[in-house]
Structure formats: C-alpha cells, structure tokens
Amino acid sequence: MCGITGIYYFDKQRTVNFSQLKKMTDIIEHRGPDDEGHYIDKNVGLGHRRLSIIDLTPDGHQPMCNEDASIWIIFNGEFYNYLDYKDEIIIKGHQLRSRSDTEYILHLYEDYGFDMVHKINGMFAFVIWDSKKQLLFAARDRMGVKPFHYYIDNEKFLWGSEIKSILEHENVDKTIDNLALSDYFSFMSIPAPKTIYKKIRKLEPGHRLIINGNEIKNEKYWDLIAETDNYKTDSYYLDKFESLFADAVNLRMISDVPLGAFLSGGVDSSAVVAMMAKNGVKDIKTFSIAFKDQQKFDESIYAKQVADQYHTHHTEFNLSGKYIDILPKLAWHFDEPFAVSSAFAVYYLSKMTREHVTVALSGDGGDELFAGYPFRYAHDTRFDGIEKIPMPLRKFILWSTSLSALNGESSFAVKSRKARDYFKMACKNREDAFIDNFSYFDSTLKGNLFNQNLWSELSSYDPNSVYKKYYSENIKGSRLFKRQLGDIKTSLPDEMLKKVDNMSMAVSIESRTPFLDYRLAEFSAQLPDHLKLNGMNGKVIVKKTMEKYLSNDILYRKKHGFNVPFGEWVKNELKDYINETLSEKNIKDSGIFNYPYINKIIELHRSGRFDYSNQIYMILMFEIWRKTFNS
C-alpha cells in the first residue's frame, strides 16, 4: 500500500524537473512514510511513497525495474495471488530479486502485455513505463478499491493517488466542473470519471490507460455481467459462497507486518472475523468504535459479543468530544468536496488502530454485492396502489398539492409538502423514483440552494443520468441486479471505498476488503435474487452461510449502519463553528449559494422540526474544501 504520482510530457525533448516531481511525491508522504523513490527518463517521471507491507527490505524499493532496466513500475495496492505465478515466472527465465509482489507485475507485463491485469487478484493502481516501446501503461483494479486520478492538457499527462499530487504541478488548470458540483449536492460525493476539477479525472474501476506518444487510449478490461443459472440448487450456491469467501479472507492474510480487523458488530465485519478464525488465524486483533454518549449510534455491544465469541484481542475506542479540528483535515485528505459524515469515525478508528497494526481487514462491499440495503433494493410497495390512478389525474394531484405546500410549518403545510413529494415520485417510473430516493438535493432544493446565475446553468442537467445508464434494457439482469450495479459502479468506489481509502491512508494503515475479491463479485452476479433479497431481509446467502459461525442477534437484527451523530453536533458541539463557516459573508464570497436558504435550513434543523443534517454537512464540507484548496 503506497502512493504514486508522476509526469509524462508529450514533447520527448522536454525533461522532467526533479524538484517538481519530488514536490508531487512529498505531498502524499502519509500514504508511504517508510520510503520514497523517483525515476526520471527524459520526458517521464515516476514518484513513489512506500508503506512497507510485503518484503520490508530495500529490495522492495520503488520505482522498480526489470532485469535490464527497460521497464519501470510504481504500484499502489496488493497483488494477493502473486505467488501462484512464481514457478511460471522462473521457468520463463525471469530473475526474481525480491519477495515483493510488485516485481511479479513487471514480469507478467513482459509476458502478457496489457492483459496481465487479468492475472491479478487484488486491489491496485499502477503505472508502467516501457522505455523500449516508449509507452505508459496504467490500470486500476476491477472494483475500484485503490484510486487513480489523472490530468491531461496539450503538453502533459499527470497522475496521482490523490488529486493534491497533481495540483502540486506548476501548471495545472484548476477550473471547477459545475456539473460535478451538481453531482456532489445530489450524492455527497462525485462519481467517476468526474472530479471537482474539469481537467482532472478519475480512472474508472476495471479500466486501463495506454499512452503512446500523443495518443491516449482509455479502455474497459473487466465488467460485472449477470449470468444467473437457474438449474443450480440453493445448497450449491451456499457451498460455493463459503468456499470463495474463506479463500478471499485467507488471501488477504498475507503480510510481513502486524495485521488485524475492523469490527463494527454488523454482519459483514463479523463474518470476516469469523472466517479468519475458521481459517485457523490465532490471536486475532480486532478494533471498533463506540459512541457511549449517543446510544442510538453505538454498536459496540455487538462488536464485543463477536470478539468474546472468537477470543480476539479486542480494542474499543470511544468517539466523543469536540471535532472542529478534524474537519479541515478531512477536507484536505479528500481533495474535493466529500460529505459522508461517517468519515469521522473511519478516521479515528484508523488512527487508533494504527497504534497496534499496519493492516486491517474490513467488511466493506458486502452490502452492495449481496443486497444489504433492503430499503433501497426491495420492491417499492408504496406505488402499488397509486399506479392504478391514471397519470393525468396523478399530475393534477401533484399540481394541487404543490399549490398547498406552503413555506410555513403548520401541520397543514407539512402534510401538503409530504403529499406533494409523494405524488412527485408517483408521476415518475419506478427507477426514476428509486434514484430520487437517494438524492439529497433534488432539482427543487438546488434551485433554492444555488444562486440564480449558477442554477440557470445547471437546471437542465440531470445528475441521475449517472445511475440511469445502469437500468438500460441493454443491460442483462433483473431489476434488483441493475439497482445493485448502479451502486457497485458509483457509490461503492466513489463514496464508500474513497472514504475508507483516504481515511486509512491518512494515518498510513492498509485496509483490505475480502468481500471485494473479484471472484465474489462475479459470483454475486450469478446468484438468483432470492439468495440476495427476501422481502426486507438482505444478504440472504451471507446470513445463511454464517449461521454456523455467528448468532442470530448478530445476523438478523435490524441493520444499523456505520453513522455518526452529526445532527446533534449541528445543534451543540459544532454550532459556533458552523455559524462562522457558513456566515453570510463567507457564503456570499463563494459566489455559489443563496444564503437565506442555507440559514433557513440550519434554523429548521436546530428547531428539531426537520432533519437537514446531511444537507448541512454537504454545504459545510464544500465551504471548508473551498477555503482549503480554492481560497
């Protein structure tokens, strides 16, 4: 687990400046505090920060080259199954000079070219410079566990594990992408390939880049395709899942440094710990967060229950106190507006876990692959009756309730707004209504939030198009699979995994995700719907499999989610900070927002009549990001 960055000038006569490359590398030191390395070949510069996990010796130093130094690599991630290729690599005449998985990628590239990505089971983002062919080759793992950002203009191609590396280059266009801004205020994060900057993009999961001269090819090398086999029995799928999951966990145990597991007490992290024990791991170290002063957010009792069952060395951290100081740090580490408030907890959990281990397994990805969000994925029965009402009548009711949806807070006004919102959804098809359910600022709210000039530019743009493409008739699979696919391609890499990667790497800890083994992902696409979702019971196959290892009150209790009490902080701990950061002067300085509306939703939230915690957090984090990077 490391940090990578670099420069490629299209003019082959131009030489990369070492001090420029070093600046881009130094700013991500937190990703690799153990070592740094640079390599320059005229118009190409590779920068690397190393967090030593496998082969702690200098032999693992990067950038790393092949035997004749014609091919160089910088690699961020883990290649879990690299030892499977040891005999093949030796037979083909390659000399292994280290125990590092990075060296195996070099040799596989020599033997298989760009298709070597299919050999790797792991999380990765890497860049290879082939000096003989004069080409640059970059790739990102199938599920998007590791990040890769890049910048292109007429003179150069830049890249980095984090956007801030790219921003360190002396000549970068920092123009804001207003469409990405609209995406952010819909989804809390910015879906790939966009970033907040027009010229900086994310390489999408399962994609690779080939830069040859001035030609840049961006191509997909892997995708998730529904291939359900209705002739298989449930017991076949249960046995297959257990075998794949056990192997996925086992592969992620390889390490030359201390290793443990994040344990929330939910199904997925508990399943990971149980499978570690089943695989024979002794003295498992587990770590969890507690909210002793906010019981409705506290799952520590369940984490302790699993820890006791498997006799782990369990460490619990109580998250309480003031959080003002951490907010600018979060904004700096995320590089762009990012408003998933549980990043608080992930940061502190990672920070305190780092005092004990360098690698931690997590349960991320189980919900998306196996339908663990029943409230999102289940058949929406709210519209079963209303669909019998002719559409013109539905639209008339929407019009009439909209007239009654006053701005006041009387019970009539509140009921009118609820009716309006209901019929607004009922006037759309099921998938449009489904997407709207997880848009935090819809078009009406954005019209209030943004100033008139910005809204006139954005009003015709539909951020939901990011999801809609996955519901096309051209995509094979059930409605459930398509809804999952939308999350797997968007919110999983750009929200969940970004949160975990940036927060864990902020404190130099490696997080590993067994559920995101690509074999499990492909297996999930083969499953019949009833083994993923049954009514409002999600992750059916995971729970049925784990009944042998975990109690029912772990497996079948109501889903909790990994959240923090930000709504209460708005009223208490962060009240003064929010008032100052979102003051009328600051909001007007931004040139983006309508201050009276922001002030109104803060007052309504603090009154207890409405919960605008997510919306307030989105505005707050945008303003902190703006002052950090664009003031």
Catalytic residues: 2
- Residue 180 to residue 184: CA distance in whole angstroms: 6
- Structure tokens, 359: 């690698």
Q: What is the largest CA-CA distance in the chain?
A: 80
In Å, how far from its chain's centre is CA 459?
27
Cα angle, residue 48 at apex, residues 35 and 11 outer, rounded to 5°? 150
Residues in the chain: 631
Element spanning 50, H or E: strand 44-50
Number of helices (H), then strands (E), belonging to the chain: the values are 29, 19
Q: What residues have CB less than 8 Å from 141, skipping those under 6 apart?
A: 77, 120, 122, 123, 124, 125, 205, 206, 518
User: How many Cα neighbours within 13 Å face the side chain of 61?
Assistant: 8
Q: What tokens appear for 157 in the block? A: 């191609």
Closest C-alpha among 258, 271, 279 to residue 306 = 271
The first and second tokens of residue 480, run together, are 């459930």
Which candidate, 270, 276, 225, places its Cα nearest to that of 248?
Answer: 276
AA identity, residue 44: V
| Residue 4 token pair | 């990578």
DSSP state of 497: I
Residue 248: name the closest of 268, 223, 234, 220 by CA. Answer: 268
DSSP-derived 3-state class of residue 47? strand
Give residue 296's Cα distance to chain centre.
25
Running DSSP on this structure, what letter comes out for residue 42? T
Q: Which residues pair with 511 in a beta bridge?
A: 360
* CA dihedral of residues 579, 580, 582, 583 (deg, nearest 10): 100
Q: Are 146 and 77 spatial neighbours (Cβ–Cβ below 8 Å)?
A: yes
- Give the distance, in angstroms, between the CA of residue 86 and the centroid of all CA atoms in the same chain: 32
Angle at 220 (CA atoms; ends 217, 221), nearest 5 degrees: 115
**Residue position matching structure tokens 């399943």:** 271
Q: Do 31 and 44 touch, CB atoms closer than 8 A? A: no
